[in-house]
């Protein structure tokens, strides 16, 4: 599996699926979630309303799939990261589950490429270095079948540098 680092807007990625750092109600919020909802268009809000109606939303650590609608990506995998409470309420396990569940959903649907943001590092307050370590560990542990490329798409230069440093520490030279 190829791992790519990119700095920029995840909504512009030409991959099979982008991963949305969603809230449990799948309401368009701020940050990555708001940008994805805005770029995907009104039909995404309708699809999320259907998931709320039929499944009650998406619990923390889980993932659900919708079409990408107006995005270059065919699909959106919505996953709900944990709110940071100092690491004492299972946050690392829940965050790891976001990555593993998203990858499993991609495999289930035969997707070959997906792009992840830095889940939970915005308003949910997860420390970026700690979240990065969880992300790398989860992605590298994934036994890829269909998934051939994972992109970490970081909005800020600071986040990009954290992920780049983590790659080097693991002996990885991401594309």
Rg of the Cα trace of the chain? 15
Q: Which residues are catalytic?
A: 33
Angle at 163 between CA 40 and CA 153, to 5 degrees: 15
**What residues have CB less than 8 Å from 132, skipping those under 6 apart?**
118, 162, 163, 166
* Whole-Å CA distances, 32 to 29, 142, 146: 8, 24, 26
Quick count: other Cβ atoms within 10 Å of Cβ 34? Answer: 12
Residue 106 contacts residue 17 (beta carbons within 8 Å): yes
Residues β-bridged to residue 64? 78
- N- to C-terminal Cα distance for the chain? 11
């Amino acid at each position: 599996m190829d791992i790519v680092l990119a700095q920029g807007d995840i909504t512009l990625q030409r991959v099979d699926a982008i991963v949305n750092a969603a809230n449990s109600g799948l309401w368009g919020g701020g940050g990555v979630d708001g940008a994805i909802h805005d770029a995907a268009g009104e039909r995404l809000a309708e699809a999320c309303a259907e998931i709320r109606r039929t499944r009650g939303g998406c619990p923390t650590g889980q993932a659900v799939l919708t079409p990408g609608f107006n995005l270059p990506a065919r699909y959106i995998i919505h996953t709900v990261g944990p709110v940071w409470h100092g690491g004492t309420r299972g946050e690392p396990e829940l965050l790891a589950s976001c990555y593993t569940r998203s990858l499993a959903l991609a495999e289930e649907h035969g997707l070959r490429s997906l792009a992840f943001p830095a889940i939970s590092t915005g308003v949910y307050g997860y420390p970026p270095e700690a979240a990065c370590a969880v992300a790398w560990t989860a992605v590298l542990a994934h036994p890829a079948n269909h998934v051939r490329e994972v992109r970490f798409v970081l909005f800020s230069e600071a986040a990009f540098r954290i992920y780049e440093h983590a790659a080097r520490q693991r002996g990885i030279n991401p594309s």
